[in-house]
Chains A and B, each alone.
Chain A
Amino acid sequence: MLPIALDALIKIAVVIGGLMTAAAYLVLAERWIAAWIQDREGPNRVGVPLTKIRLFGLGQPLADGVKFIFKAEYTPGHVDKGLYFLAPVMIFASALAVFAVIPFGGLLPGNIFPASWGVSEPINLVIAPRLDVGMIYVFAMGSIAIYGVVLGGWASNNKYSFLGGLRSSAQLIAYELPMGLGILGVVLSAGSLRLDTIMQQQAQTGAWNAFVQPLGMVVFCVAAFAEATRLPFDLPEAEQELIGGYHTEYFGIKLMMYLVGEYLHMITAAFLIVILFFGGWHFWGLTGSSDTVTWTQAILRIIVLNVKVLGMIFFFMVARWSWARFRYDQLMSLAWLVMLPMGMVNIAYVAVWQEYGEQLATQAGLPPQIAMAVCGWAVLVATWFVGASMAPPAGDNRPRRTPLEPSFPMNLEIPEGAGR
């Protein structure tokens, strides 16, 4: 058997190398997509250094990185030095540490090594395989990232950074709940917190959770966008209207750690959405669904998973230019008045279905997966419209007497002449 430490070290090298390169080039991709949506060109100048070769701007990430690294390293005099250094490290380290349990493929057959090494078990393409608390670990690391935000805001010793830190921590904590509720349905139906088991279950039934638990997918996606602080939930940064937020006082390599950390959160969110709701490495007729793989299947599984993740990241990037940012009260009411109840409905629906629905469907002679999908979409539509009519998107930000008063009064009287 391959020594566990060596096995893990190789995977860590692959994952960190891949992630850092991916983060750099995703920044370029994001700038391109942003530019194209806004009818601009995007970065197209930087190519091979010291030559005039432009390569469509593919050298831009290198130039960006060099710029950040060689910026003057200066510590503002008024900051809390220890925490000021600790905060970006915290957010970056926790964002990286999540990938210990996130699979970047399915399995590799064990016959990659010479027979004399005695390796016969298939290799799990995840740094920490067979970790039974996988999802909880992901959540724990995600929560530690909030400390990075809070500490950054606090350590900067600056009113605006502090307010930015407060508003982001409130947002991140508020959306942890719907995120958890969105996952619980998946965990209930898979019967495990292990990400590979969840993928395996979707592959074996052939019904991705997005089809059978669409409500959970909606809740989880919205919460994941908010947790990754991407538009339309990027209140922590809000670079156009508000001061940068918790990282106002940061620059150079420390700011880069914050920004790369945010990108890693987006990649994590994309991986989680794909793994939990879009079948992970599974694609019908391509990847197989068994515990043992051939080489073709193993490679196809890696490709399918990563293509799905890239597609989801592309959606993140397009979404940035599709919808206006929510106002803070809209953000909060969406979390507490809409997403939280919807998540609860989803758990109730999945639990009831697991207990009774499957038997009923089998007795009635219906294929259980299709019956569950039909029920799931019915639940989604019903919940969505009930939620929309009870807690409509708030258009009015007047101070209200009670938090439960409707967001904008429908019977608003407009006084004659002057207002009220």
Chain B
Amino acid sequence: MKNDNSKVQWVAPPKLGLLGKSYLMLFLHGLVTAMRHLLFHKSITLQSPDERHAIADPVHYRGVHRLNKDEQGRVKCVACFLCATACPAHCIDIVAEESPWPDREKYPKVFNIDELRCIFCGMCEQACPVEAIELTSFYDLTGASREEMIFDKEKLLSVFDQTKDREPMPSKRVISATTGVAAGGQA
């Protein structure tokens, strides 16, 4: 290394007294610190999966997707493709079909989300005009194969059934007047 580089500014180390030069204080300091932690140690480890991280706000957490159902148990999605268009990772695959119900023109015949491609940005949730797609607070999803991680419509609807009580849809939320935090309402 050359030391004539004009951009490098050398800083003088602090001047040590005899005790500092003797390394004794560093020796004691290090040993005492290590022993203090050893004798009075308080573990900060979370024993996952026996214990789980507390999710502060499940409603706003961005985990696995779900497809919401309406009161009659039908999928709320109208196959408008806004979520698939908004998705930066192109992980949403929708095949639309003519709706059998009178209140909408189309419904998704196929609704696949590749959870391995998904970056959990939540833009699908924001793009959706009918609050049909949402992100839940499930965060530890695993699978034995890539195919298994492509969630189809049935699976996404079943995620809704599992999470609807804990994380109500936006239209069902009761916002606390004092804290402004969404509390559980009726799904």
Residues of A within 8 A of B (CB): 33, 36-41, 318-319, 321-324, 384-385, 388-389, 392-393, 395-396, 398-399, 408, 410, 412, 414, 418-420
Nearest CB in chain A to that of B6: its residue: A418
Contact between chains at B13 and A418 (CB < 8 Å): no
Residue B37 at the chain A interface, CB threshold 8 Å: yes
With most chain B CB atoms within 10 A of its CB, the pick from A33, A37, A324, A385 is: A37
Query: Could you tell me the distance between the alpha carbons of A19 and B62 in the complex, rounded to whole angstroms?
Result: 52
Residue B18 at the chain A interface, CB threshold 8 Å: yes
Query: Could you tell me the distance between the alpha carbons of A253 and B1 in the complex, rounded to whole angstroms?
Result: 40
Query: Could you tell me the distance between the alpha carbons of A408 and B21 in the complex, rounded to whole angstroms?
Result: 12
List A contacts of B44 (CB < 8 A). Answer: 39-40
Contact partner of A40 (CB less than 8 A), chosen from B3, B26, B34, B43, is B43
Query: Could you tell me the distance between the alpha carbons of A408 and B14 in the complex, rounded to whole angstroms?
Result: 10
Query: Could you tell me the distance between the alpha carbons of A33 and B38 in the complex, rounded to whole angstroms?
Result: 7
List A contacts of B37 (CB < 8 A). Answer: 36-39, 321
Q: Given A322-B34, A393-B23, A399-B3, verify A40-B45 contact (CB < 8 Å).
A: yes
Number of B interface residues in the complex (CB < 8 A) = 34
Residue B31 at the chain A interface, CB threshold 8 Å: yes
Query: Could you tell me the distance between the alpha carbons of A389 and B18 in the complex, rounded to whole angstroms?
Result: 6
In the assembled complex, the CB of A346 is this many whole angstroms from the nearest CB of chain B, namely: 17
List A contacts of B13 (CB < 8 A). Answer: 395-396, 408
Contact between chains at A323 and B4 (CB < 8 Å): no
Q: Given A323-B27, A385-B18, verify A41-B10 contact (CB < 8 Å).
A: no
In the assembled complex, the CB of B168 is this many whole angstroms from the nearest CB of chain A, namely: 37
- Which positions 34-51 of chain B face chain A at CB distance < 8 Å? 34-35, 37-38, 41-45, 47
Residue B72 at the chain A interface, CB threshold 8 Å: no
Query: Could you tell me the distance between the alpha carbons of A392 and B45 in the complex, rounded to whole angstroms?
Result: 40
In the assembled complex, the CB of B33 is this many whole angstroms from the nearest CB of chain A, namely: 7
List B contacts of A392 (CB < 8 A). Answer: 16, 21
Contact between chains at B38 and A318 (CB < 8 Å): yes
Residue B9 at the chain A interface, CB threshold 8 Å: yes
Query: Could you tell me the distance between the alpha carbons of A306 and B41 in the complex, rounded to whole angstroms?
Result: 27
List B contacts of A323 (CB < 8 A). Answer: 26-27, 30
Contact partner of A388 (CB less than 8 A), chosen from B23, B35, B41, is B23
CB-defined A-B contacts under 8 Å, sample of 16 = A36-B43, A37-B41, A39-B41, A41-B43, A41-B45, A318-B31, A318-B38, A322-B27, A322-B34, A323-B26, A384-B24, A388-B21, A389-B21, A414-B9, A414-B12, A418-B7
In the assembled complex, the CB of B87 is this many whole angstroms from the nearest CB of chain A, namely: 39
Contact between chains at B34 and A419 (CB < 8 Å): no
List B contacts of A408 (CB < 8 A). Answer: 12-13
Residue B22 at the chain A interface, CB threshold 8 Å: yes
List B contacts of A33 (CB < 8 A). Answer: 38
In the assembled complex, the CB of B41 is this many whole angstroms from the nearest CB of chain A, namely: 4
Residue B8 at the chain A interface, CB threshold 8 Å: yes
Query: Could you tell me the distance between the alpha carbons of A384 and B7 in the complex, rounded to whole angstroms?
Result: 39
Contact between chains at A321 and B42 (CB < 8 Å): no
